[in-house]
Chains A and B, each alone.
Chain A
Amino acid sequence: MLKEIQKSLFKKKATVLYPFKERERVHIPEGFRGKIVFDRDKCTGCLLCARFCPSGACEIVTDEKGKRPIFHLELCLFCSQCQEVCPKGAINLTKEFELAAFDRKAFTIR
Protein backbone atom coordinates (compact mmCIF):
# COMPACT_ATOMS: atom_id res chain seq x y z
CA MET A 1 0.00 0.00 0.00
CA LEU A 2 2.70 2.49 1.08
CA LYS A 3 4.79 1.42 -1.88
CA GLU A 4 1.92 2.20 -4.24
CA ILE A 5 1.42 5.64 -2.67
CA GLN A 6 5.12 6.44 -3.02
CA LYS A 7 5.10 5.34 -6.63
CA SER A 8 2.00 7.39 -7.47
CA LEU A 9 3.16 10.54 -5.64
CA PHE A 10 6.24 11.07 -7.75
CA LYS A 11 4.85 9.87 -11.04
CA LYS A 12 4.00 12.15 -13.93
CA LYS A 13 0.29 12.98 -14.07
CA ALA A 14 -1.70 11.02 -16.63
CA THR A 15 -4.04 13.95 -17.35
CA VAL A 16 -2.87 16.53 -19.88
CA LEU A 17 -4.08 20.05 -19.02
CA TYR A 18 -4.94 20.43 -22.64
CA PRO A 19 -6.28 23.90 -23.43
CA PHE A 20 -4.47 25.70 -20.60
CA LYS A 21 -0.99 24.28 -20.37
CA GLU A 22 1.37 22.13 -22.36
CA ARG A 23 -0.64 22.55 -25.50
CA GLU A 24 2.21 21.15 -27.53
CA ARG A 25 2.06 17.88 -25.64
CA VAL A 26 -1.20 16.87 -27.31
CA HIS A 27 0.38 14.44 -29.69
CA ILE A 28 -1.25 14.19 -33.11
CA PRO A 29 0.15 11.32 -35.17
CA GLU A 30 1.01 11.45 -38.87
CA GLY A 31 -1.94 10.56 -41.04
CA PHE A 32 -4.52 12.01 -38.65
CA ARG A 33 -7.77 12.80 -40.43
CA GLY A 34 -8.52 16.43 -39.58
CA LYS A 35 -9.56 19.59 -41.39
CA ILE A 36 -9.81 19.35 -45.18
CA VAL A 37 -7.48 21.43 -47.36
CA PHE A 38 -8.60 21.78 -50.97
CA ASP A 39 -6.31 22.80 -53.84
CA ARG A 40 -8.61 24.45 -56.34
CA ASP A 41 -5.99 24.66 -59.08
CA LYS A 42 -5.38 20.91 -59.18
CA CYS A 43 -9.10 20.05 -59.40
CA THR A 44 -10.36 18.88 -62.77
CA GLY A 45 -14.03 18.66 -61.83
CA CYS A 46 -14.45 14.89 -62.07
CA LEU A 47 -16.96 15.01 -59.14
CA LEU A 48 -15.82 11.67 -57.68
CA CYS A 49 -15.59 13.27 -54.23
CA ALA A 50 -19.27 14.21 -54.26
CA ARG A 51 -20.24 10.80 -55.60
CA PHE A 52 -18.57 8.91 -52.76
CA CYS A 53 -19.07 11.33 -49.86
CA PRO A 54 -21.17 9.38 -47.32
CA SER A 55 -22.64 12.39 -45.53
CA GLY A 56 -23.32 14.90 -48.28
CA ALA A 57 -20.62 17.25 -47.01
CA CYS A 58 -19.31 17.78 -50.52
CA GLU A 59 -21.51 20.15 -52.51
CA ILE A 60 -21.02 20.82 -56.22
CA VAL A 61 -21.19 24.44 -57.39
CA THR A 62 -20.69 25.85 -60.87
CA ASP A 63 -18.30 28.77 -61.25
CA GLU A 64 -16.17 30.24 -64.10
CA LYS A 65 -13.96 27.10 -64.17
CA GLY A 66 -16.87 24.67 -64.37
CA LYS A 67 -18.17 22.31 -61.73
CA ARG A 68 -16.16 22.42 -58.53
CA PRO A 69 -16.76 20.99 -55.03
CA ILE A 70 -17.08 22.97 -51.83
CA PHE A 71 -16.77 21.16 -48.50
CA HIS A 72 -19.02 21.71 -45.52
CA LEU A 73 -17.02 20.76 -42.44
CA GLU A 74 -20.10 20.78 -40.19
CA LEU A 75 -21.40 17.78 -42.15
CA CYS A 76 -18.03 16.09 -42.65
CA LEU A 77 -17.29 12.69 -41.06
CA PHE A 78 -13.52 12.95 -41.64
CA CYS A 79 -13.45 9.53 -43.27
CA SER A 80 -10.99 10.73 -45.95
CA GLN A 81 -12.87 8.88 -48.69
CA CYS A 82 -12.68 12.04 -50.88
CA GLN A 83 -8.92 12.14 -50.43
CA GLU A 84 -8.73 8.49 -51.42
CA VAL A 85 -10.77 8.79 -54.63
CA CYS A 86 -9.34 12.12 -55.83
CA PRO A 87 -7.26 11.25 -58.93
CA LYS A 88 -5.29 14.55 -58.80
CA GLY A 89 -4.52 14.67 -55.08
CA ALA A 90 -6.32 18.00 -54.70
CA ILE A 91 -7.94 17.08 -51.38
CA ASN A 92 -5.89 16.56 -48.24
CA LEU A 93 -6.84 15.98 -44.64
CA THR A 94 -4.50 17.82 -42.30
CA LYS A 95 -3.59 17.40 -38.64
CA GLU A 96 -5.67 20.41 -37.59
CA PHE A 97 -8.39 19.32 -35.19
CA GLU A 98 -9.53 22.46 -33.35
CA LEU A 99 -12.44 23.34 -35.59
CA ALA A 100 -14.86 25.20 -33.31
CA ALA A 101 -15.89 28.64 -34.63
CA PHE A 102 -18.53 31.29 -34.06
CA ASP A 103 -19.05 31.94 -37.74
CA ARG A 104 -20.58 29.30 -39.93
CA LYS A 105 -18.56 30.50 -42.92
CA ALA A 106 -15.44 29.13 -41.25
CA PHE A 107 -16.78 25.62 -41.87
CA THR A 108 -16.98 26.01 -45.63
CA ILE A 109 -13.82 25.03 -47.51
CA ARG A 110 -13.59 26.37 -51.05
Chain B
Amino acid sequence: MTKAATTTEVQVITGVLPTTQRVAPMLSLSELSVHYGGIAALRGISLSIEVGEMVCVIGANGAGKSSLLRAIAGLVTPSAGHIAHRGVPVLMLPSFERARRGISLVPEGRGVFPRLSVQENIAIGGYARSDGAVKDDIDRIYALMPRLAERRSQLAGTLSGGEQQMLAIGRAMVSRPDLLLLDEPSMGLAPMMVQKIFEIIAEVARQGVTILLVEQNARLALRTASRAWVLEGGQISVSGPSAALAADPRVRAAYLGE
Protein backbone atom coordinates (compact mmCIF):
# COMPACT_ATOMS: atom_id res chain seq x y z
CA MET B 1 0.00 0.00 0.00
CA THR B 2 2.85 2.37 0.77
CA LYS B 3 4.72 1.79 -2.47
CA ALA B 4 2.83 1.67 -5.71
CA ALA B 5 2.87 -1.76 -7.28
CA THR B 6 3.73 -1.54 -10.93
CA THR B 7 2.37 -4.01 -13.39
CA THR B 8 5.80 -5.41 -14.16
CA GLU B 9 6.25 -6.38 -10.52
CA VAL B 10 2.98 -8.26 -10.56
CA GLN B 11 3.89 -10.15 -13.69
CA VAL B 12 7.28 -11.12 -12.35
CA ILE B 13 5.64 -12.46 -9.19
CA THR B 14 2.95 -14.45 -10.96
CA GLY B 15 5.60 -15.65 -13.42
CA VAL B 16 7.68 -17.34 -10.72
CA LEU B 17 4.76 -19.19 -9.19
CA PRO B 18 4.98 -22.91 -9.95
CA THR B 19 2.07 -23.13 -12.36
CA THR B 20 3.30 -26.31 -14.05
CA GLN B 21 3.15 -28.38 -10.87
CA ARG B 22 1.03 -31.56 -11.00
CA VAL B 23 -1.76 -30.31 -8.78
CA ALA B 24 -5.45 -30.04 -9.53
CA PRO B 25 -6.35 -26.67 -10.99
CA MET B 26 -7.75 -24.10 -8.55
CA LEU B 27 -10.87 -23.95 -10.66
CA SER B 28 -12.06 -25.79 -13.69
CA LEU B 29 -15.31 -25.24 -15.50
CA SER B 30 -16.57 -27.54 -18.19
CA GLU B 31 -19.45 -26.81 -20.53
CA LEU B 32 -21.03 -24.51 -17.96
CA SER B 33 -24.38 -23.01 -19.01
CA VAL B 34 -26.70 -20.68 -17.12
CA HIS B 35 -30.25 -19.86 -18.13
CA TYR B 36 -32.63 -17.31 -16.67
CA GLY B 37 -36.06 -18.53 -17.63
CA GLY B 38 -35.59 -19.31 -21.31
CA ILE B 39 -32.75 -16.87 -21.85
CA ALA B 40 -29.19 -18.17 -21.97
CA ALA B 41 -26.68 -16.08 -20.01
CA LEU B 42 -23.79 -18.53 -20.39
CA ARG B 43 -23.45 -21.14 -23.10
CA GLY B 44 -20.97 -23.94 -22.58
CA ILE B 45 -18.08 -22.18 -20.84
CA SER B 46 -14.97 -24.29 -20.26
CA LEU B 47 -11.88 -22.89 -18.66
CA SER B 48 -9.24 -23.77 -16.12
CA ILE B 49 -7.34 -21.60 -13.64
CA GLU B 50 -4.13 -22.81 -12.01
CA VAL B 51 -3.14 -22.25 -8.39
CA GLY B 52 -1.73 -18.77 -7.82
CA GLU B 53 -2.79 -17.34 -11.16
CA MET B 54 -4.32 -13.93 -11.66
CA VAL B 55 -6.64 -14.05 -14.63
CA CYS B 56 -9.47 -11.98 -16.00
CA VAL B 57 -12.64 -12.17 -18.02
CA ILE B 58 -13.56 -9.14 -20.08
CA GLY B 59 -16.66 -8.43 -22.06
CA ALA B 60 -19.44 -5.96 -22.69
CA ASN B 61 -22.46 -5.34 -20.50
CA GLY B 62 -24.71 -8.39 -20.53
CA ALA B 63 -22.06 -10.71 -21.96
CA GLY B 64 -22.48 -13.02 -18.97
CA LYS B 65 -19.53 -11.96 -16.81
CA SER B 66 -21.46 -11.61 -13.56
CA SER B 67 -23.43 -14.79 -14.26
CA LEU B 68 -20.13 -16.64 -14.57
CA LEU B 69 -18.92 -15.49 -11.15
CA ARG B 70 -22.33 -16.02 -9.55
CA ALA B 71 -22.43 -19.58 -10.86
CA ILE B 72 -18.95 -20.29 -9.47
CA ALA B 73 -19.90 -18.82 -6.06
CA GLY B 74 -23.18 -20.75 -5.96
CA LEU B 75 -25.60 -17.84 -6.25
CA VAL B 76 -27.16 -19.14 -9.46
CA THR B 77 -27.72 -22.76 -10.38
CA PRO B 78 -26.26 -23.65 -13.76
CA SER B 79 -28.51 -25.43 -16.25
CA ALA B 80 -25.65 -27.66 -17.39
CA GLY B 81 -21.95 -28.27 -16.88
CA HIS B 82 -19.49 -28.91 -14.07
CA ILE B 83 -17.51 -26.81 -11.60
CA ALA B 84 -14.52 -28.24 -9.76
CA HIS B 85 -12.54 -26.43 -7.08
CA ARG B 86 -9.13 -28.02 -6.49
CA GLY B 87 -10.44 -31.10 -8.24
CA VAL B 88 -13.54 -31.36 -6.01
CA PRO B 89 -16.96 -30.95 -7.64
CA VAL B 90 -18.81 -28.11 -5.90
CA LEU B 91 -21.87 -27.75 -8.10
CA MET B 92 -24.22 -29.26 -5.52
CA LEU B 93 -22.92 -27.17 -2.62
CA PRO B 94 -24.81 -24.06 -1.42
CA SER B 95 -22.95 -20.75 -1.52
CA PHE B 96 -22.02 -20.75 2.18
CA GLU B 97 -20.35 -24.17 1.82
CA ARG B 98 -18.35 -22.95 -1.17
CA ALA B 99 -17.32 -19.87 0.81
CA ARG B 100 -16.11 -22.14 3.62
CA ARG B 101 -14.05 -24.10 1.10
CA GLY B 102 -12.22 -20.95 0.07
CA ILE B 103 -14.21 -19.58 -2.87
CA SER B 104 -14.89 -15.94 -2.07
CA LEU B 105 -16.89 -13.60 -4.29
CA VAL B 106 -16.69 -9.83 -3.95
CA PRO B 107 -19.99 -9.10 -5.64
CA GLU B 108 -20.86 -6.42 -8.13
CA GLY B 109 -21.87 -3.28 -6.20
CA ARG B 110 -19.61 -4.41 -3.26
CA GLY B 111 -22.42 -5.85 -1.10
CA VAL B 112 -21.21 -4.42 2.20
CA PHE B 113 -23.71 -4.62 5.06
CA PRO B 114 -24.76 -0.96 5.26
CA ARG B 115 -26.02 -1.01 8.86
CA LEU B 116 -23.10 -2.95 10.30
CA SER B 117 -19.98 -1.06 11.31
CA VAL B 118 -16.80 -1.30 9.26
CA GLN B 119 -15.31 -3.42 12.03
CA GLU B 120 -18.29 -5.79 12.04
CA ASN B 121 -18.23 -6.05 8.25
CA ILE B 122 -14.59 -7.06 8.28
CA ALA B 123 -14.99 -9.43 11.22
CA ILE B 124 -17.90 -11.21 9.58
CA GLY B 125 -15.50 -12.29 6.84
CA GLY B 126 -14.03 -14.61 9.46
CA TYR B 127 -17.44 -15.93 10.49
CA ALA B 128 -16.81 -19.52 9.44
CA ARG B 129 -13.24 -19.64 10.77
CA SER B 130 -12.62 -21.15 14.16
CA ASP B 131 -8.85 -20.56 14.41
CA GLY B 132 -7.57 -17.81 16.68
CA ALA B 133 -5.79 -15.83 13.98
CA VAL B 134 -8.81 -13.90 12.71
CA LYS B 135 -7.86 -10.87 14.77
CA ASP B 136 -4.35 -10.83 13.32
CA ASP B 137 -5.79 -11.02 9.82
CA ILE B 138 -8.13 -8.11 10.58
CA ASP B 139 -5.15 -6.08 11.80
CA ARG B 140 -3.29 -6.92 8.60
CA ILE B 141 -6.25 -5.66 6.54
CA TYR B 142 -6.25 -2.41 8.51
CA ALA B 143 -2.52 -2.06 7.92
CA LEU B 144 -3.09 -2.54 4.20
CA MET B 145 -6.07 -0.17 4.13
CA PRO B 146 -5.54 2.53 6.79
CA ARG B 147 -8.65 4.41 5.60
CA LEU B 148 -10.76 1.56 6.91
CA ALA B 149 -8.94 1.56 10.23
CA GLU B 150 -9.82 5.25 10.67
CA ARG B 151 -13.47 4.50 9.98
CA ARG B 152 -13.79 1.23 11.85
CA SER B 153 -16.68 2.29 14.09
CA GLN B 154 -18.59 4.02 11.28
CA LEU B 155 -21.55 2.27 9.60
CA ALA B 156 -20.42 0.79 6.28
CA GLY B 157 -23.30 2.48 4.46
CA THR B 158 -21.73 5.88 5.17
CA LEU B 159 -18.47 5.03 3.33
CA SER B 160 -17.67 6.27 -0.15
CA GLY B 161 -17.89 3.82 -3.06
CA GLY B 162 -14.14 3.28 -3.12
CA GLU B 163 -13.96 2.70 0.62
CA GLN B 164 -16.83 0.22 0.35
CA GLN B 165 -14.91 -1.61 -2.36
CA MET B 166 -11.86 -1.75 -0.12
CA LEU B 167 -14.04 -3.02 2.70
CA ALA B 168 -15.56 -5.71 0.48
CA ILE B 169 -12.11 -6.93 -0.58
CA GLY B 170 -10.78 -6.73 2.98
CA ARG B 171 -13.77 -8.64 4.28
CA ALA B 172 -13.23 -11.34 1.67
CA MET B 173 -9.55 -11.59 2.64
CA VAL B 174 -10.42 -12.23 6.29
CA SER B 175 -12.08 -15.47 5.19
CA ARG B 176 -8.60 -16.55 3.92
CA PRO B 177 -9.87 -17.51 0.48
CA ASP B 178 -7.75 -19.49 -1.95
CA LEU B 179 -9.84 -18.29 -4.88
CA LEU B 180 -10.97 -14.67 -4.95
CA LEU B 181 -13.63 -13.71 -7.48
CA LEU B 182 -13.84 -9.98 -8.13
CA ASP B 183 -16.88 -8.62 -9.98
CA GLU B 184 -16.22 -5.20 -11.54
CA PRO B 185 -14.15 -3.73 -8.71
CA SER B 186 -13.56 -0.52 -10.68
CA MET B 187 -17.23 0.17 -11.33
CA GLY B 188 -18.35 3.69 -10.51
CA LEU B 189 -15.05 4.74 -8.93
CA ALA B 190 -12.91 7.81 -9.63
CA PRO B 191 -9.65 7.04 -11.51
CA MET B 192 -7.51 7.69 -8.43
CA MET B 193 -9.57 5.23 -6.42
CA VAL B 194 -9.49 2.65 -9.21
CA GLN B 195 -5.70 2.80 -9.12
CA LYS B 196 -5.72 2.33 -5.36
CA ILE B 197 -8.08 -0.65 -5.56
CA PHE B 198 -5.91 -2.29 -8.20
CA GLU B 199 -2.81 -1.78 -6.07
CA ILE B 200 -4.64 -3.65 -3.31
CA ILE B 201 -5.66 -6.42 -5.71
CA ALA B 202 -2.03 -6.75 -6.86
CA GLU B 203 -0.94 -7.03 -3.24
CA VAL B 204 -3.53 -9.74 -2.60
CA ALA B 205 -2.29 -11.65 -5.65
CA ARG B 206 1.28 -11.31 -4.40
CA GLN B 207 0.22 -13.08 -1.19
CA GLY B 208 -0.55 -16.13 -3.31
CA VAL B 209 -4.34 -15.87 -3.62
CA THR B 210 -5.66 -17.04 -6.98
CA ILE B 211 -7.75 -14.27 -8.51
CA LEU B 212 -10.41 -14.31 -11.18
CA LEU B 213 -11.21 -10.72 -12.11
CA VAL B 214 -14.19 -9.67 -14.17
CA GLU B 215 -13.99 -6.17 -15.65
CA GLN B 216 -15.54 -3.90 -18.19
CA ASN B 217 -12.40 -1.81 -18.03
CA ALA B 218 -10.53 -4.15 -20.38
CA ARG B 219 -7.35 -2.10 -20.57
CA LEU B 220 -6.88 -2.18 -16.82
CA ALA B 221 -7.84 -5.85 -16.56
CA LEU B 222 -5.44 -6.96 -19.28
CA ARG B 223 -2.65 -4.95 -17.68
CA THR B 224 -3.24 -6.64 -14.30
CA ALA B 225 -3.93 -10.27 -15.25
CA SER B 226 -1.62 -12.78 -16.88
CA ARG B 227 -4.28 -14.58 -18.92
CA ALA B 228 -7.68 -13.49 -20.13
CA TRP B 229 -10.89 -14.68 -21.73
CA VAL B 230 -13.23 -12.54 -23.77
CA LEU B 231 -16.90 -13.25 -23.15
CA GLU B 232 -19.38 -12.46 -25.94
CA GLY B 233 -23.05 -13.40 -25.80
CA GLY B 234 -22.40 -15.97 -23.09
CA GLN B 235 -19.56 -17.69 -24.97
CA ILE B 236 -15.78 -17.37 -24.95
CA SER B 237 -14.74 -15.73 -28.19
CA VAL B 238 -11.02 -15.17 -27.63
CA SER B 239 -8.61 -16.36 -24.96
CA GLY B 240 -4.91 -16.36 -24.25
CA PRO B 241 -2.14 -14.48 -22.47
CA SER B 242 -3.15 -10.91 -21.68
CA ALA B 243 -0.33 -9.46 -23.76
CA ALA B 244 -1.49 -11.42 -26.79
CA LEU B 245 -5.07 -10.31 -26.29
CA ALA B 246 -4.03 -6.70 -25.87
CA ALA B 247 -2.30 -6.98 -29.24
CA ASP B 248 -5.18 -8.80 -30.94
CA PRO B 249 -6.79 -6.45 -33.48
CA ARG B 250 -10.31 -7.78 -32.74
CA VAL B 251 -9.92 -7.18 -29.02
CA ARG B 252 -8.33 -3.79 -29.61
CA ALA B 253 -11.22 -2.75 -31.82
CA ALA B 254 -14.03 -4.07 -29.62
CA TYR B 255 -12.76 -3.51 -26.07
CA LEU B 256 -9.83 -1.13 -26.09
CA GLY B 257 -11.51 1.51 -28.22
CA GLU B 258 -8.92 1.53 -30.96
- Is B one of A's binding partners? no
Binding site for B on A (CB under 8 A): none
Chain B contact residues, CB within 8 Å of chain A? none
